[in-house]
Amino acid sequence: MRLSRLFLPTLKETPTEAQIVSHRLMLRAGMIRQHAAGIYNWLPLGTRVLQNIIQIVREEQNAAGAQEIIMPTIQSGDLWKESGRYDDYGPEMLRIKDRHERDMLYGPTHEEVVTDIFRNNVKSYRDLPKNMYQIHWKFRDEVRPRFGVMRGREFLMKDAYSFDIDFVRSRHAYNQMFVAYLRTFSRMGLKAIPMRADSGPIGGDMSHEFIVLAETGESAVFCHRGLVDMKVPENVDYDADLQPIIDAWTSLYAVTDEKHDIATEAKLGADLVKARGIEVGHIFHFGTKYSGPMKAVVTAADGGTVAVMMGSYGIGVSRLVGAIIEASHDDAGIIWPESVAPFRVGLINLKTGDAACDAACTKLYSELTKAGVSVLYDDREDRAGVKFADMDLIGIPWQVVIGPKGVAKGQAEVKRRAGGARDECPIDSVVGRFVGKA
């Protein structure tokens, strides 16, 4: 992409309405614009990052055996009357009447809808297990939408729902999602710590929140230092027994907010980490809470019928964009991990209009693009300082700088955004540095 053509409305001034760094940087880097309180437009740069995050989430869900579906954003209120949550959910639910005065709502979550799909289509234990997920917009009429996409009213969530015949098997489904979450967040360059959680309005008996440590996080967290350094499993066989992995991750103390326990903390001593964190995922096992009242039953091996055991598994996909920035930025701007960066390479032409610089840049741009490396080429006729500042602000992991002096010697400068290390290399070798390396 040529920067001169990209819709990238960056801001020089710090927007005063933004209280935390990720919100400020997302506005300044031209990633989002507010439409109404807690409701955002995603501009091209923000959309590219969001798509990269979606792709990682999708790959890890698929690897863990979940199957992607798409459910409606507008739901029928009748289903929620069946589960008993229509009255319980409260003012966070946006209620809508259609022209026939029917009660509709904009889905804040999808347990009812997915249970309805299941009960209408699955009748036998032989069709189990099943885990279905979607990556879709939710609406919750939050009292205090704030911090940009971190606490929006409309936000993008990955929500998965598992169905199993008994507790042992549904705990396996829970464990599969647990491990998939560890891998998902780690691929985004995040350290997310699973913490035992209350299950809130979703209900249930087993629940973990995945929390990214960040100063601006809304939750206070207390955990054992060992969790911060724990290694995320690679090459997972999701059919194997995952309980040992779960046991390792849940054996150490880790809680949020009011659940912390002074006596345990005192015992941990120097191993206690007291920090703040952002909830990026939340998994629940809730057994027959919905399948019971909504009659999602299957025939069992012994000929009887049983209500299926369920779990639900959320990831705050749009919140992750903010969380990654909170975890990875400096005074100059965002520092994207390569896995989610909107472009991998920023090509800076220091003297647009100079025939030699233009020729060298155009050639590099087309060769990198052909090789499958995503490049943002700053071909604008601006001062070098402006170009450096913008490229730093929007956080592209690698900057390739082409100027008249270097071109005369056949040299380019390559800068790593994280850490700022620079080196010179022959222009001919630039493509080779990026090809074949993720």
Residue 158 within binding range of Mg ion, rule CB under 5 A: no
Rule CB under 5 A: choose which of 110, 130, 153, 282 binds Mg ion.
Answer: 282
Task: Tell me which of 23, 85, 151, 289 binds ligand ATP, using CB under 6 A.
Answer: 151
Q: By CB under 6 A, tell whether 182 contacts ligand ATP.
A: no
Q: Which of 60, 112, 164, 279 binds ligand ATP (CB under 6 A)?
A: 279
Task: Kindly identify the residues of this chain, within the stretch 373-432, that bind ligand ATP according to CB under 6 A.
Answer: none
Residue 276's beta-bridge partner residues? 220
Provide the strand spans (E) within 288-410: 297-299, 305-307, 309-316, 329-330, 333-334, 345-349, 375-378, 398-402
Compute the least distance from the CB of residue 137 to ligand ATP, in Å.
11
Cβ(334)–Cβ(29) under 8 Å?
A: yes
Residues 6+ apart with CB under 8 A from 279: 209, 210, 211, 218, 219, 256, 316
Query: Considering only residues 223-252, where is the footprint of ligand ATP by CB under 6 A?
Result: none
Residue 373 to residues 357, 379, 431: CA-CA distances in angstroms?
A: 20, 18, 9
Distance CA(77)–CA(288), nearest Å, equals: 21
Distinct helix (H) and strand (E) counts, the chain = 14, 23
CB atoms within 10 A of CB 263: 6
Decide which of Mg ion, ligand ATP, none touches 280; Cβ closer than 5 to 8 Å per partner kind: ligand ATP
Q: Do 110 and 69 contact (CB within 8 A), yes or no?
A: no
CB 153 to ligand ATP: min, Å: 7
DSSP string, 285-319: EEETTTTTTTT-EEE-TTS-EEEPEEEEEEEEHHH
Q: Looking at this protein, which amino acid is placed at residue 256?
A: T
In the complex with Mg ion, the residue whose CB is nearer, 282 or 329, is 282
**Window 294-333: residues binding ligand ATP (CB under 6 A):** 314, 316, 318-319
Residue 119 interacts, among Mg ion, ligand ATP, none and using kind-specific CB cut-offs from 5 to 8 Å, with none
Picked from ligand ATP, Mg ion, none, the partner binding residue 28 (CB below 5 to 8 A depending on kind) is none
**Least distance between ligand ATP and beta carbon 292 (Å):** 21
User: Residue from 119, 282, 285, 344 that binds ligand ATP (CB under 6 A)?
Assistant: 282
Q: How far is the CB of 154 from ligand ATP (least distance, A)?
A: 8
Query: How crowded is residue 363: how many other Cβ atoms within 10 Å of its Cβ?
Result: 14
Tell me if 152 contacts ligand ATP by CB under 6 A: yes
In the complex, the residues that contact Mg ion under the rule CB under 5 A are 282
In the complex, the residues that contact ligand ATP under the rule CB under 6 A are 109, 140, 142, 151-152, 155, 157, 200, 279-282, 314, 316, 318-319
